[in-house]
């Protein structure tokens, strides 16, 4: 018996993921059933191979997420991966994104696309993560929840869903507060998300999505050195308190999606969105360093207006008596960012906003056209073709001009055409074999462009985009009803990989260092083992290597790299083996139990491999009970223990940190109790 069909959007096609010649995983989000705190996306991605999501225990820097090694070198936010929420980009056109705005209380599912077909999403698409909110329920439903746990952690949430006339709605709000596992890591995060689906009649629908996040004065404990971890993994670096390192972030976004079916064969989708994001972050750059005329200060404050649109036409037809699906689309995105920098002191007072040291507009525009063609040209064969063309323009307009700081204005253009091809063979109704190939590219983000390696003023417009060739072969096998085994072998060869060029005065610069290769295998098994028993398991073996030798920095200050990195060295931040497993028992009422196991191999902390984080294995356990209080009323009580064995481990690594503070330790054994009332 075949698995029930699941409609997904990551492929942009009206076919189930089982028939797509690509590695695509779909996970349902059910916080109450899983006993999850509902804060970190990493809790939702258990059992998905290829993706590694690490909770930094530092909410000033967002989660660290990589897919098949892409994004592992990012020191903050999410890089090299495209992120979407309800079909609306959460990645700016320069390639930098975040997942902190994901509201899991309103979510229905998360889709993770890996491999060659990711390139159809454009710049920096080493993989794609998409979160979708649930539709409103026929019977109105409201949930109120509260949870409390270790390290003075509290969370409050409210969610209401329903249908009123032609409008279905899903509105969620939450607040998370924590003193933090480590010293100087307090956080308060407010998250709101609302989705309205409006039936306009005549096969027309308008979806309105509103999203807000407010995270004021989140303390940043910074990374620790090896000696500091051994001494006390809960401590913060001394300069974190000295300069009161912290970050405030606020984002408001609106998105509109209009869909119309002109006939059974032709559909139109139009999407537009607009948002504002403001950040102010206090760094630990020493005051004496900021005496240099070209130093941009110890406080960074980018204010970003961003938006874009996507127009897509889908046509279903027949070719040679066989069904095909054609998608044609065009999109445009922009970010207008006013980036200012200030000294982090006034007189002898540290950790305050002082004199202006940087004032510029950093703008990016991205225009793209794309096409996809899916054709089942024989009973057992189908082909999926894709083509995308991107034009990305970076421009800087400098307004901080002095006798010692010249006009830094300039611009650079990048472009790429990225084809993709997938072929699938169906030897049986419950088995699919496929192979695919695609070419991708990734421009430098403003984080890499921000400073020149020669120490002069202006942006590093000499950086080249990284370009990749991606290969994949895999199988999808439905072993039984609602149980599927997936396997994939993959390889990605990248040229002009970016790496750190210099570390001077608290700033890193970047350069292109040659080619890399990321190759490995993925295995996953997910579904129902037996009535009321569910399994989700994923394993990844990954070899990520520099294919060329180059010179790197061994510490800071490092005005000129001088330490050799041999060819075939491991790319830092990438474990060779990692995986996760969750087993659940229970149904909609009464008792339920779950065990989660996560294992991650060792990772190098920097290019020259002078330090590394050891591998680790963690076990979490949770239990819950659902009381049925009425026809539509339930009370859910849950308890969860994380790191059951109380292991000491490094949760994430700050790759190539110039001060050698590479390590962000994970928490000891911790607890969470929760209650949710639904009526």
Residue 667 has pLDDT above 60, yes or no: yes
Percent of the chain with pLDDT over 70: 97
What is the reported pTM? 0.93
Which residue in this structure is represented by tokens 């938006």? 307
658: CB partners within 8 A, 6+ apart: 503, 506, 508, 553, 555, 556, 558
- Give yes or no for residue 557 having a pLDDT over 90: no
pLDDT computed for residue 295 by the predictor = 85
The answer to whether position 10 is within a domain reads no
Residue 38's pLDDT band (boundaries 50, 70, 90)?
low
Q: What is the mean pLDDT of residues 603-631?
A: 93
Determine the pLDDT at residue 408.
84
Q: Which two tokens stand for residue 92?
A: 């700016």
Residue 675 pLDDT > 60, yes or no? yes
| pLDDT tens digits, one per residue of 343-376 | 999 999 999 999 999 999 999 999 999 999 999 9
Taking residues 83-94, what's their average pLDDT?
92
Residue 31 pLDDT exceeds 70: no
Residue in the block written with tokens 């040209």: 377
- Predicted pLDDT at 293: 84
State pLDDT tens for residues 390-417. 999 999 999 988 888 888 888 999 999 9
Q: Write out the residue range of the structural domain in which residue 483 sits.
A: 17-678
Q: Is the pLDDT of residue 3 over 70?
A: no
Can you give the pLDDT at residue 113?
Answer: 95
Asked if residue 8 is part of any domain, the answer here is: no
The full DSSP string for 206-248 is: EEEEEEEEEEEEEE----B-HHHHHH-TT---HHHHHTT-EEE
Listed in order, strand segments (DSSP E) in 233-342 are: 246-263, 266-282, 299-319, 322-342
Q: Give the pLDDT score at 454.
A: 79
CATH number at residue 513: 2.40.170.20
555-577 b/e (C-beta count within 10 Å ≥ 16 → b): ebebbebeeebeeebbbbbbbbe
At residue 1, the pLDDT reads: 37
Number of folded domains in the chain?
1
226 in any annotated domain: yes
- Which pLDDT score, from 0 to 100, does residue 592 have? 92
Which residue reads 């189930």 in tokens?
16
**What pLDDT shows up at residue 70?**
93
Average pLDDT of the residues in 238-242: 95
pLDDT above 50 (res 518): yes
Output the CA torsion 221→99→611→126 (10° steps).
Answer: -160
Whose structure tokens read 């949770």? 622
Contact 475, 431 (CB under 8 A): yes
In a domain, 273, yes or no: yes
Residue 5 lies in a domain: no
Residue 67 and residue 596: Cα distance in Å, rounded? 20
| 664 lies in some domain | yes
Q: Give per-residue pLDDT as tens, 448-478.
A: 887 888 777 778 888 999 999 999 999 999 9
Min mean pLDDT across 24-38, 274-288, 580-594 is at 24-38
**Considering only 2-16, 42-56, 521-535, which range has the smallest mean pLDDT?**
2-16
When pLDDT is cut at 50, 70 and 90, the band that residue 10 belongs to is low
- Assess if residue 566 is contained within a domain: yes
The answer for 532, left when phi > 0, alpha when psi is -120 to 50, beta otherwise, is left
Q: How confident is the model at residue 61 (pLDDT cuts 50, 70, 90)?
A: confident
Rg, the chain, Cα only: 25
Cα-based angle 307, 312, 313 (whole degrees, multiple of 5): 165
pLDDT above 80 for 35: no
Residue in 534, 634, 650, 612 with CA at minimum distance from that of residue 142: 634
Taking only the tens place, the pLDDT of each residue in 297-351 is 999 999 999 999 999 999 999 999 999 999 999 999 999 999 999 999 999 999 9
- Counting beta carbons within 10 angstroms of the beta carbon of residue 112, is it exposed (0 to 12), middle (13 to 18) or buried (19 or more)? buried
Residue 280 has pLDDT above 90, yes or no: yes
- Would you say residue 229 lies in a domain? yes
Of 508 and 443, the structure prediction assigns the larger pLDDT to 443
d(CA 425, CA 501): 46
Q: What is the tens place of the pLDDT at every residue in 217-237?
A: 999 999 999 999 999 999 999
């Amino acid at each position: 018996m075949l698995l029930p069909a699941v409609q997904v959007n990551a492929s942009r096609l009206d076919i189930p993921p089982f028939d797509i010649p690509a590695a695509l995983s779909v996970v349902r989000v059910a916080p109450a059933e899983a006993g999850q705190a509902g804060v970190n996306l990493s809790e939702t991605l258990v059992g998905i191979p290829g993706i590694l999501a690490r909770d930094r225990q530092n909410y000033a820097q967002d989660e660290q997420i990589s897919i098949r090694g892409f994004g592992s070198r990012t020191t903050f936010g999410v890089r090299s991966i495209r992120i979407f929420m309800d079909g609306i980009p959460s990645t700016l056109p320069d390639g930098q994104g975040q997942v902190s705005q994901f509201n899991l209380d309103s979510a229905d599912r998360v889709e993770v696309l890996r491999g060659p077909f990711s390139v159809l999403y454009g710049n920096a698409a080493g993989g794609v993560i998409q979160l979708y909110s649930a539709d409103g329920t026929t019977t109105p439903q409201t949930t109120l929840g509260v949870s409390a746990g270790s390290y003075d952690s509290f969370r409050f949430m409210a969610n209401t869903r329903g249908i009123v006339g032609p409008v279905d709605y899903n509105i969620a709000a939450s607040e998370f507060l924590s003193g933090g596992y480590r010293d100087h890591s307090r956080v308060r995060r407010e998250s709101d998300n609302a989705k309205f689906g409006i039936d306009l009649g005549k096969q027309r629908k308008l979806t309105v999505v509103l999203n807000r996040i407010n995270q004021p004065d989140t303390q940043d404990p910074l990374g620790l050195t090896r000696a500091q971890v051994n001494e006390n993994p809960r401590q913060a670096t001394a300069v974190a308190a000295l300069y009161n390192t912290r970050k405030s972030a606020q984002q408001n976004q609106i998105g509109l999606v209009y869909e119309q079916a002109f006939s059974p064969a032709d559909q139109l989708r139009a999407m537009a969105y607009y948002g504002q994001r403001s950040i102010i972050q206090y760094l630990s750059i020493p005051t004496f360093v900021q005496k240099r005329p070209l130093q941009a200060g110890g406080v960074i404050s980018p204010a970003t207006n961003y938006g874009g649109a996507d127009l897509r036409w889908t046509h279903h037809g027949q070719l040679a008596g066989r069904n095909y699906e054609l998608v044609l689309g065009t999109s445009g995105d922009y970010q207008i960012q006013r980036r200012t920098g200030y000294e982090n002191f006034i007189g002898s007072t540290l950790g305050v906003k002082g004199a202006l040291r940087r004032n510029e507009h950093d703008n990016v525009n991205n225009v793209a056209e794309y096409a996809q063609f899916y054709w089942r040209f024989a009973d057992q064969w189908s082909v999926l073709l894709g083509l995308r063309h991107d034009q990305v323009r970076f421009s800087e307009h400098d307004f901080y001009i002095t006798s010692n700081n010249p006009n830094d204005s300039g611009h650079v253009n990048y472009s790429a055409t990225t084809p993709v091809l997938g072929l699938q063979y169906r030897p049986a109704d419950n088995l699919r074999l496929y192979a695919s190939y695609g070419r991708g590219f990734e421009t430098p983000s403003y984080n890499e462009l921000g400073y020149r390696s020669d120490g002069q003023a202006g942006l590093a417009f000499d950086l080249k985009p990284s370009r990749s060739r991606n290969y994949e072969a895999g199988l999808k096998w439905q072993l039984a009803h609602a149980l599927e085994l997936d396997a994939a072998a993959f390889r990605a060869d990248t040229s002009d990989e970016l790496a750190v060029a210099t570390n001077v005065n608290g700033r890193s610069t970047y350069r292109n260092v040659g080619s890399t290769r990321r190759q490995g295998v993925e295995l996953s098994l997910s579904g129902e083992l037996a009535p009321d028993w569910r399994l989700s398991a994923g394993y990844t073996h990954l070899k990520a290597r520099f294919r060329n030798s180059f010179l790197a920095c061994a510490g800071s200050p490092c005005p000129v790299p001088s330490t050799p990195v041999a060819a075939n060295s491991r790319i830092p931040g990438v474990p060779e083996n990692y995986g996760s497993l969750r087993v659940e028992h229970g149904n909609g009422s009464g008792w339920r139990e779950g065990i989660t196991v996560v294992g991650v191999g060792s990772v190098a902390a920097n290019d020259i491999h002078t330090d590394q984080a050891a591998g680790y294995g963690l076990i979490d356990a949770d239990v819950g009970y659902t009381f049925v209080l009425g026809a539509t009323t339930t009370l859910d009580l849950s308890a969860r223990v994380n790191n059951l064995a109380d292991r000491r481990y490094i949760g994430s690594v700050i790759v190539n940190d110039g001060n050698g503070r590479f390590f962000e330790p994970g928490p000891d054994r911790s607890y969470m109790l929760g209650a949710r009332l639904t009526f």
